[in-house]
Amino acid sequence: MSFANPSDLVRVSNMEPVIDHLRLARFIGAMEKRALEQGIRIETSSDFESLQEVCRDLSNKAPLSALFSPDFYELGPADAFWVKGIDDKGDIVHTQAIRRDFLQGTRLDLRLRQALQRLYCRSPDEPAELASLPWSPGMQNITGTVCYHGEIWLQRGKRGFRGKGLSAILPRLALGIALAKWDPDYVFGFTNPKLAFKGIAAQYGYMHLQPGGVFWEQAPESIAPDDWIAWMNRRDLIYLTQHLP
């Protein structure tokens, strides 16, 4: 019996995976079909002024994050999209959004600290202050083409859709679309500690989770003072979209 040279095995294991676009398209289609079976029709859009209006009109959803706000960023089809879930009455019952940024030559923690400082820490009417504590080690390793995933909301209540397994379907749908569009090096999002302990990020499909995503001395309204970060690298993302939940 012969065995492969160990060095050959190392080279094979370090090879970057190749996206099977047909398989990926089937994955996206399967997620859309499962959402439709639960009563949610999926549309995508790159009109973030529309998303901002949607967030204002929904009484039980937080305002649109500044990182997706058309007041601060010119986002379009080349660098961002959002997912709209519509029920059989035509009402919006689900949202989420993903944007792409190029971080070549820098790290996520450095770029994000600059962005949050600019967006939140200069308003005397809504004071906010970032803590000087170091952020998670995971953030310090994230660079290259990076996607931010947020605005995940699903209608609750009597006509709501929670408790139907959609938390394992809808976020993966958006992640699959982002992989097909941009083939990013990393994708990340934030969750508050309460949801982190409930395993929500794992339900969404994320494979890495750390406290210390962002520390605030004084957090803006609707933002936790100690968000956790969830993330995946390209290899994780391809692996995720090869398996139906």
pLDDT tens digits along 175-221: 999 999 999 999 999 998 999 999 999 999 999 999 987 777 777 77
Q: What is the per-residue burial (b if ≥16 Cβ within 10 Å, else e) of 127-141? A: ebebeeeebbebbee
pLDDT tens digits along 146-184: 999 999 999 987 777 888 899 999 999 999 999 999 999
Partners of 85 in beta bridges: 42, 94
CA dist., res. 172 & res. 32, Å (int): 10
Its pTM stands at 0.89
- Tell me the domain boundaries of the chain: 19-240
pLDDT at residue number 5: 58
> What dotted CATH number matches 19-240?
3.40.630.30
Question: With contact defined as beta carbons under 8 Å apart, do 110 and 195 qualify?
Answer: no
Q: From the CA atom positions of the chain, what is the Rg in Å? A: 19
pLDDT tens digits along 95-139: 999 999 999 999 998 898 888 888 777 666 666 777 666 788 999
CA dist., res. 95 & res. 54, Å (int): 9
Strands 186-191 and 226-233: antiparallel
